[in-house]
Amino acid sequence: MRIHPLDRKAPDGARCRHHPDRPASYRCPVCGGYVCHFCWNEAASRCRSCSMSDGQESAYRMPFEDAALSFWTRVIETVRTAFRPRVTALGFAACRPLSALLFLLISALPLSLAAGVIPHTRTLLFGPGLRISLVGSYRPIEIAFDIVRAMIFQLLFDGIFIAALVIPFASLAKSYGGTKGTSAAIGTVFYRYWLIPAAMLLSYISFWIFPDVRIGFFVELALSALALYLFVIAMWSTARVTYAIGRIWSIAVVGVPWVIVFLVVALVIPVLASFLGLAQNSAN
């Protein structure tokens, strides 16, 4: 393979070879073409077209699917990629849905179970200053059953959330992405979903720790905004980079699933909570 000895920064005035309406940011060292930010694979240090044509040797993959790494290194490095959503978006192009599902279970499942305890238990009240008080007179077995029920509710909540998000996102990405399949869209949701229960768990813990409830609300707002931002940017980057969907249509491909999620959560979750006999803990 011949590598052009060129500066990878595009000169002033250059336009993207794939999107003439955009200014070019990089000059590919393989083909020598000028490309914009979304046509550049930073992980492979070349344009997206050359990365994909070179095959797996140069294409970026999720660390969790790298057999050369130890198991926990794969998990930790994959978690870290969530904070670089634009750069790592191309990794979803070659991801394996079953590997993504395994990572979802490893990362999101424990967080989901833990996140359900504080807000959904009826026998325990988690108050500021790490205070835990018993609500009424209950036997240990009843408290244990209540905690398990709260965990199950949160687990069902996350399952509904994932289904309401991944089904329309994968369907729309495939429809507007031409011949590309649904693996990248499914992988994006599965590899990034841990952000949601992690933000919820840390938010509940902040209410439990800080005596001033205003601090808890601030932490909750900040964590929720960060998780939502990283998740949405990951989905949008996948739509733009992997599926090559235009800017306007990519907003619809990402936005519609989130609208569906909010509608489903507003309509289905209260019914589920009523069925399980759960109510939001008054401490929060």
Q: Please compute the mean of the pLDDT values over residues 121-137 and round it to a whole number.
A: 89
d(CA 179, CA 244): 11
* pLDDT tens for each residue of 171-224: 999 998 866 789 999 999 999 999 999 999 999 999 999 888 888 899 999 999
Residues 71, 65: contact at Cβ < 8 Å? no
* pLDDT tens for each residue of 23-42: 998 888 778 889 988 787 76
Give the residue with greater pLDDT, 59 vs 173: 173
Calculate the average pLDDT of the chain. Answer: 86
Is 60 exceeded by the pLDDT of residue 154? yes
Between 83-92, 115-124, 151-160, 164-173, the lowest mean confidence (pLDDT) is in 83-92
Which residue type occupies 241?
A: V
Q: Tell me, what's the pLDDT at 7? A: 58
* pLDDT tens for each residue of 234-273: 999 898 878 878 888 899 999 999 999 999 988 988 887 7
Question: In the structure, what pLDDT confidence band is assigned to residue 2 with cuts at 50, 70 and 90?
Answer: very low
Residues 122, 134: contact at Cβ < 8 Å? no
Residues 248, 83: contact at Cβ < 8 Å? no
d(CA 68, CA 74): 9
Is 60 exceeded by the pLDDT of residue 283? no
- Provide the CB-side half-sphere exposure for 98 (13 A, CA): 0
| CA-based torsion, 167, 81, 108, 131: positive or negative | negative
Q: Please compute the mean of the pLDDT values over residues 163-178 and round it to a whole number.
A: 92
Tokens 């499914």, located at residue: 186
